Structure 1
Amino acid sequence: MTAPGPASWRRRAADGRRAARDALRHPVRAARPHRESVAQTVRVAVACALAWEAAVLLLGEDEQPVLAPLAALLTVQLTVFRTLAQGLRQIGGVMLGALAALGLLRLAGAGFASIGLAVAVCLALGKLLRLGEQATEVPVTVLLVLSTGAPYAPVRIGDTLVGVASGVLVNLVAAPPTYVGHAAHRTARVAHRLADIAHDTARGLHEGWDERASDGWLRRVEAAARELDQARRVAVQAEEGIRLNPRRLRQGADPAVALGPLGEGLTCLGHVCDQLGSVLRGLDDLARGERRFPDGEQARAEARARVRPLGDVLEAVGDALDVLARIQRDHVREPGHTEDLTAALERGRDHHAAAAETLRRTDRGPAVWSLHGSIVDETQQILHELDPRHGPHPAALHPRPLRLPAPRRTPSEG
């Protein structure tokens, strides 16, 4: 891997200066994409300050309770549910470590052998109890108590309790976002990406395509699959974010309405992405003349021309995916949504039947008709996946409006 050259450094410096000028001219617009990071930083800072002050009041002026804000720092997470789970794991690790240290002092005292054995045993216990990242709290507490003496054990536990309570309290009062809107926005973006690929492929089938075009389609569907994985991770975060969240209780949002259609929509898009990838791999084989196709450019050109009617099917698929994206993005199913989706799919089925009949009459040779048949079957399965009435994913359509506003699109998410 080569180091960036002078031209690259100059370009990065120019980009940095341009970004700084834009931030100074339009600070609100520049901060908008990072507002959640800023809000999380503020929540952490407030929780740490509150933990320090509470520890001083509760534990006395003579104490320097730096471990209380440290506990708050480790406790505050992006969601209320994750914050509470993190705090409970932290309390469990500290209490286990304090008990282990007190037992070690009573039985063997502090020495290099006993400390090494205690750290090893405590790390194993932390893993066994599934404390996650907080497994290290157990040996850390053991070392702190051994270095300062048995009277420090209750102080260490008190610092942790104060810090965890401060972190949970701040997150409850601040009510971090549920992330349902972000998850829906990302899901809609994946649907739009797949729709664009379907539309461009349809245009290529009508106008003619080569292996360079088919290779570009495959790369784009692979990028869409990666974006789909990111949307799934945000959906998991939304599932955590809506639990125990006061904002959800105030808005009266039903978790089943918020999360069910999102999860089902992601499942539907995952199947469509795989099937569209299979179609594009078949078209790529056609463009490259793979799989023992008839010799001669003329024969391969005729085989490619016969799948041209499938372009109309993919055009309808793209239209249907655009409708699904609109449903996911807006958190609502309007009467027109189902009608638009159904109309696009009906149009696609009509074109699919005509294309299949054309291929049935004209295909010659097992290498050609088997590949054409797989492409025809995958496009038919895509139409079935998107069917709002008879397909496998009707729950991908929201049954009623969801009163959680979608986030505004920012230039970085375009």
Structure 2
Amino acid sequence: MRGTRGIRWAVLVARRRGRAAGETVRRAWEEPGRERDLAVQAVKAALAACVAWAVAGWWLQAPMAFVAPWVAVVLVESTVYRSIAHGLQQVAAIAVGTVVATGVVLMIGSPLGAMCLVLPAVVLLGNWRRLGSQGIYAATGALFVLTAGPVTVAASAARIAEAVFGAVVGIAVNALIRPPVYLRSTRAALEDAACEARQILDAVADRLAADDWDARVAGSLHERALRLCRLVDQARAAVGWSRESLRANLRRGVVSPPGQGYDDAVTVLDYVAVHTTGVTRLVLEACDGDGKKPRPGPHITKPYAEFLYCSARAIRFYTRSRFAPAGQDVEAGRELREVVEELVRSLDDLRQRLHEAMPADPDGLATYGTLLTQARRLTEQLVRH
């Protein structure tokens, strides 16, 4: 019986993964996006390996021809700049490992003895900061020398030349054939974070307006708020990734790099995430049922809910105005200014309500003060940007 359930579970998992794979293929075929970018990079890597092998292995019949396609395929990187930087580091690492291993073998005459001497040295050298993540190829280059038969200066020089040729092919293919640009992915990352922020703020506002203090729902919203912080971090990384993708890129003159507006959006979303996390934590603590955290009454929760609704609308119009497909959306910008003015009025009303209802006990003061502080900081950021 248990085995049957296991088989059924395995079949369900296989079907689910199959559907996910099919959906990924469909998106790559039908629309621009991350899936298509990954597919294009995979095809380019295969093309680079084929070109390198055709020249080094089939035409020139080099003794270590596999080195060229091997280097070429790994250097079709996610950005052209990274291909160039890693290509220089990798060739340097391979050259150092090859030269050191060749010299030691020729001096002592024993590949096994040379391996005992060379490998510790080149592995340590691989940690040199200037070689970056490519330092491990120093040991790889040395192993090729020590395990590939008779060691000669000519064979080692040919191996280095093949690595250089493979690097040139990989970099050229990545730079000349649809060089990758990640501006679209950056915009999508920012829009995803803003959409999640709006949904969380609306959900919290719904709960406060209905005076619903369900601990399970509050915990779920707080977990979503914590994930929102990670989404903002991913958006921040995407902005840097997009700028790097335009360095040494032939499409730089066609695609504009992400400007200050993207940095401003990350700053705003960062404050939104902090504010949302603080509010959801406060609601969760008020729902824990131990009576230590006072629950604000409807005279406070309803205006605070209105403030959250205004904040969610402001974020929606902010995203539409900044990241419209054809540039800034003038109409969305006008609506954003109106919503921000409404947000400021909502904050003033909330401040007045909190001042009038400020409790005398310290816990109540802390709760009301936290609500007001989070609201004020979020309003300042939305008004500023």
The answer, yes or no, to whether TM exceeds 0.5 is yes
For the 8 Å contact 1:307–1:355, the answer to whether it is kept is no
1:191–1:269: 8 Å Cα contact kept in structure 2?
A: yes
Provide closer, same or farther for how the CA distance between residues 321 and 167 of structure 1 changes in structure 2, counting only shifts above 3 A.
Answer: same
Per the alignment, residue 192 of structure 2 pairs with 189
| Alignment of 1:237 onto 2:241 | yes
Shift of 1:202: 1.5
CA distance, structure 2, for counterparts of residue 62 and residue 302 of structure 1 = 78
Please provide the CA RMSD for this pair: 2.9
Q: Secondary structure at the match of 1:77?
A: coil
Percent identity reads 21
Instruction: Name the counterpart of 2:358.
Output: 363
Distance in 2 between residues matched to 1:369 and 1:26, nearest whole Å: 52
| Rounded Cα–Cα distance in structure 2 between residues aligned with 1:212 and 1:89 | 52
Secondary structure of 2:126's counterpart equals helix
Q: Is the 8 A contact 1:67 1:159 kept in 2?
A: yes
Deviation at 1:160, TM superposition (A): 0.4
Change (3 A) 1:311 1:36: same
Counterpart residue type for residue 348 of structure 1? L
- Unaligned runs of at least 5 residues, structure 2: none
Report the alpha carbon displacement of residue 230 of structure 1 after superposing the two structures with TM: 2.7
Verify the 8 A CA contact 1:286 1:304 in the aligned structure 2: no
1:343 matched to 2:341: no
Q: State the alpha-carbon separation in 1 of the partners of residues 7 and 115 from structure 2.
A: 52
Which structure 1 residue ranges, 5 or more long, are not aligned? 294-299, 395-414
Q: Post-superposition shift, 1:129?
A: 4.1
Do the aligned partners of 2:128 and 2:135 also contact (CA within 8 Å) in 1? no
Aligned-pair CA distance for 1:289: 5.3
Structure 1 range deviating more: 189-198 or 360-369: 360-369
Q: Distance in 2 between matches of 1:367 and 1:84?
A: 58
- Opposite residue 303 of structure 2, the aligned amino acid is P
Q: 2:105, 2:111 within 8 Å by CA — same for their partners in 1? A: no
**TM-score computed with the length of structure 1 as normaliser:** 0.82
Summarize deviations over 1:336-361 as a string: whole Å, max 9, x none: 33322222122112122112212211
Give 1:52's aligned residue.
53
Q: CA deviation at 1:91?
A: 0.8
Aligned pairs, number: 377
Partner of 1:214: 218
The structure, 1 or 2, with the larger RCO (C-alpha pairs under 8 Å, 6+ apart) is: 1
1:166-185 to 2 correspondences below 5 Å: 166-185=169-188
Deviates more, 1:122-131 or 1:109-118: 109-118
User: What's 2:378 paired with?
Assistant: 382
Cα distance, 1:99 vs. partner?
Answer: 2.1
Q: Distance in 2 between matches of 1:187 and 1:260?
A: 14
Residues 31 and 79 of structure 1, relative CA distance in 2, 3 Å threshold? closer
**Could you give the per-residue CA deviations for residues 106-143 of structure 1, whole angstroms, max 9, x where no partner exists?**
44333534322211111111212442342222122223
Judged with a 3 Å threshold, the aligned counterparts in structure 2 of structure 1 residues 259 and 70 are, in CA distance, closer, same or farther, namely farther
Answer yes or no: is 1:91 the counterpart of 2:80.
Answer: no
Which residue of 2 is the match for residue 373 of structure 1? 369
By how many angstroms is 1:329 displaced?
A: 3.3
Question: Residue 136 of structure 1 aligns with which residue?
Answer: 136
Q: Give 1:225's match in structure 2, choosing from 214, 225, 229.
A: 229
Q: Is the 8 A contact 1:80 1:241 kept in 2?
A: yes
Cα gap change, 1:195 to 1:8, in 2 (>3 Å): same
SS at match of 2:135: helix
